[in-house]
Structure 1
Amino acid sequence: MEPPSVSVIVVSRGRPALLSRCITGLSQLDWPRLELVVVACPDGCAVVSARPDAAAIKLVPFDVPNISAARNHGIAAAAGEIVAFIDDDSVPEPSWLRHLLAVFADPEVAAAGGHVIGRNGITLQWGSRAVDSGGVATPLAIHADKPTVLTGRPGRAIKTEGTNMALRREALAAAGGFDPAFRFYLDETDLDMRLAAEGAAVAIVPRAQVHHGYAESARRAGNRTPRDLFEIGASTMVFLRKHCPPELHARHLERLRADQRARLLRALRDGPLDPLDVRRILHGLERGIADGAARPTGETTPLPRAAEGFRAFAARPGATHHVFTGPWRRRAALRRAAQDAVAAGDLATVLLLSPTALYHRMRFRPEGFWEQAGGIFGRSDRGDPLFTLHTRRSRAHAEVARLATVRPLSEDGRTGGKTPDPIRMIR
């Protein structure tokens, strides 16, 4: 049976370097029927147009600060049976779509969401969650590794994340896509609530993983310090108007104010903000709440079919994934080896292991390979012991085993066999 075609939609505004990195990550996906739709500002369009694979990308110019409207433009251009969404400051694991789309073999599944990895590249940022009519998310007690299909109900939805979600294109377009009243924040959560009200089945797929960077934007600094809370206030108010009983609005707004005030006071204590900044940003929150109380909402109309047919974007299904490891002093040689493997059409992960107990961090480099750095004796999973006795090779094998569920480092996809040892030591 042929796998479904998928259109991956990336919205980008003001982050061209991160957009390029995201596209490089998408080009390494293990999925054969892939279309890439990029909705971007002029800087983003320039970066896409300069790429050697530009002709294979559907590029939609859009320079309005409204992520819902931008995503709707992307849906209108998408010709895949499934549409998937990822943010420009994110990079997917190569197996992302293979896991995320498998659940659509069940015709009852309308949408699917995966797990999101945080800035250190290892710790879970967002896992399996439900969300209520006040926009409050709570963990779901479901299988930690296998897909689970759930159905929400009015007032309680299965939570998907905007940087790691997929839906059937035909049904999403017929429903009008995302509500443009949500210019930023709670846009996908509103869609989750609408799906729940319809009794739609939503799958949570823990192995479908995306790394999310929380990059700098007009609304937050690179260290996640808030710069502006206007749209958070506005979207919260719109969400309450659409989904929450009016008698509960005041309680949820007070929770919002308390949470954001505490967040700003932490930034004041740690130094990024001064008292005038806190006052200005809180004032912006209140202005946003007032704006959201009057903002037109619910104006979604069916989206058109794509004017152009499916445009294939070449990824790397079945590519061999190599692991290169060695001491920190050999990092230049390790990185060159990884780049050579990527240039040859393979995938690569570099393990930089120092003789220390430093914590590990994982990142996807712009050159197109994964790099994990830390101590031979240090912990990667933050729940592990602070110190574990290892040799360099045993530690490398332990990390390969940890990653095996989402990154098949020991599998030779072209031959269908197993390589005896995927690890290449550079001393």
Structure 2
Amino acid sequence: MSLTVSVIVPTWRRPSDLRRCLTALANQTRAADEVLVVHRAEDAETVRVLEEAPAGLLIRGVVVVTAGQVAALNRGLDQARGQVIAITDDDAVPRADWLLRIVLAFEGDPTLTGMGGRDWLHVDGRPETGERREVGRVQGWGRCIGNHHLGAGGPREVDILKGANMSFRRAHLGDLRFDARMRGEGAQVCNDMAFCLALRRAGRRLVYDPAVAVDHFPGVRHDADQRRGFSAEAQANRAHNETLALLAFLPRGRRAVFLVWALLLGTRANPGLLQGLRWTLWAGPRQAAARVRATVAGRVAGWRTWRASSREAA
């Protein structure tokens, strides 16, 4: 008997994107057993889209009170009835065989906890090209490798799946939910990372298969975390969330190594002192200094959040 599948789509004031996503879900070769669109009550635009949803799509509108993607995803998990929980963004368009490939993967491997795939990122009307073999991994010192939008080759085990294209076996989740300590009021960047690393810490298997594909058309965000431009608040939130997720995941002996690396070097997205010098060349000294300050503040805040939680757990 085929596993039942619930699709969760969190949304907030992106009606055109949501309409396109629902149309793609209505055209799946393997239909969803239910589609849960999680939205806030005051989002009248989304309510109108749901009233005009494609015929034959088993859709439920689920209202969430708290702002942010974490609360929306957790509300969806609490309401979903399927044996497999597939998650995508409202600005993503799952390809026609998306659910079929997901179900076949879970049916073929009872040890599989999570499945994800490539999100073909469209920027200025064009899909980004390129291929990467290494996808969704955490290196020994805590550096995260994404590349979910460029992954090529066959299926492989990973540490992290991307929120626009990830699915989970419900029976393996237990009472695990997305981490409410994630900062931000909208996208709450790295919530997918934290969720996946919690599963990996528990010994669960996650697989990335580029053939399990969606097209991703990054939509407008209605919070401080804009995709283009700099926000000190969004930068600090990103650094906080990544730091918290990694400190919870890494073994004790590697946490100090990660913090030293993050503060001294870091990455382009979350620059430490040395990456700040490179940002000086890209954006000038003023913005470089602002990025480094916000990142360091976020790193310190993430460490404090992790430390407080660790003391409470003890």
Q: Give the TM-score normalised by the residue count of structure 1.
A: 0.57
Query: What does residue 271 of structure 2 align with?
Result: 257
Residue of structure 1 aligned with 2:110, choices 85, 101, 107: 107
What does 1:238-317 correspond to in 2, within 5 Å? 238-244=244-250, 245-248=254-257, 249-254=259-264, 255=266, 256-258=270-272, 261=276, 268=283, 282-295=292-305, 297=309
Query: What does residue 121 of structure 1 align with?
Result: 127
| Separation in 1, partners of 2:38, 2:131 | 25
| Amino acid of the structure 2 residue aligned with 1:168 | R
| Separation in 2, partners of 1:8, 1:233 | 29
1:80-120 deviation digits (Å, cap 9, x = unpaired)? 11001111221111111111221111211111111121112
Query: What does residue 177 of structure 2 align with?
Result: 177
SS of equivalent to 1:159: coil
Distance 1:194 1:83, change over 3 A: same
SS of equivalent to 1:83: strand
Which ranges in structure 2 are unaligned for 5 or more consecutive residues? Answer: none
Structure 1 residue 166: Cα displacement:
0.7
SS of equivalent to 1:167: strand
Distance 1:237 1:199, change over 3 A: closer
The answer on whether the counterparts of 1:99 and 1:205 sit within 8 Å (CA) in structure 2 is no
| Amino acid of the structure 2 residue aligned with 1:104 | F
Structure 1 residue 206: Cα displacement:
1.7
Structure 1 residue 130: Cα displacement:
2.0
| Separation in 2, partners of 1:181, 1:242 | 12
Query: What does residue 147 of structure 1 align with?
Result: 155
Greater per-residue strand proportion: 1
Structure with bigger gyration radius: 1
Query: What does residue 17 of structure 1 align with?
Result: 16
Residue of structure 2 aligned with 1:207, choices 208, 211, 217: 211
| Separation in 1, partners of 2:261, 2:59 | 46
What does 1:48-59 correspond to in 2, within 5 Å? 48-53=49-54, 56-59=58-61
SS of equivalent to 2:104: helix
| Separation in 2, partners of 1:261, 1:89 | 32
Structure 1 residue 220: Cα displacement:
4.5
Answering whether residue 3 of structure 2 is matched by residue 4 of structure 1, we say yes
Answering whether residue 204 of structure 2 is matched by residue 196 of structure 1, we say no
Residue of structure 1 aligned with 2:93, choices 91, 111, 125: 91
| Separation in 2, partners of 1:21, 1:290 | 40
Q: Give the TM-score normalised by the residue count of structure 2.
A: 0.76
Query: What does residue 191 of structure 2 align with?
Result: 187
The answer on whether the counterparts of 1:10 and 1:88 sit within 8 Å (CA) in structure 2 is yes
Query: What does residue 364 of structure 1 align with?
Result: none
| Amino acid of the structure 1 residue aligned with 2:137 | A
Distance 1:180 1:264, change over 3 A: farther
Query: What does residue 136 of structure 1 align with?
Result: 144
Structure 1 residue 35: Cα displacement:
1.0
1:296-353 deviation digits (Å, cap 9, x = unpaired)? 658xxxxxxxxxxxxxxxxxxxxxxxxxxxxxxxxxxxxxxxxxxxxxxxxxxxxxxx
> How many residues are aligned here?
282
Further displaced range: 252-261 or 183-192: 252-261
Structure 1 residue 8: Cα displacement:
0.8
The answer on whether the counterparts of 1:115 and 1:124 sit within 8 Å (CA) in structure 2 is no
Greater per-residue helix proportion: 2
The answer on whether the counterparts of 2:8 and 2:35 sit within 8 Å (CA) in structure 1 is yes
The answer on whether the counterparts of 2:7 and 2:32 sit within 8 Å (CA) in structure 1 is no
Which ranges in structure 1 are unaligned for 5 or more consecutive residues? Answer: 151-156, 270-274, 299-427
What does 1:325-404 correspond to in 2, within 5 Å? none
The answer on whether the counterparts of 1:238 and 1:297 sit within 8 Å (CA) in structure 2 is no
Residue of structure 1 aligned with 2:241, choices 227, 235, 245: 235
Query: What does residue 166 of structure 2 align with?
Result: 165
Note the aligned Cα RMSD (angstroms).
Answer: 3.3
The answer on whether the counterparts of 2:95 and 2:215 sit within 8 Å (CA) in structure 1 is yes
1:10-55 deviation digits (Å, cap 9, x = unpaired)? 1122423322222222222111343111112332542444324599
| Amino acid of the structure 2 residue aligned with 1:137 | I
| Amino acid of the structure 1 residue aligned with 2:82 | G
1:368-396 deviation digits (Å, cap 9, x = unpaired)? xxxxxxxxxxxxxxxxxxxxxxxxxxxxx
The answer on whether the counterparts of 1:129 and 1:138 sit within 8 Å (CA) in structure 2 is yes
| Separation in 2, partners of 1:253, 1:210 | 35
Structure 1 residue 138: Cα displacement:
6.6
Structure 1 residue 277: Cα displacement:
6.2
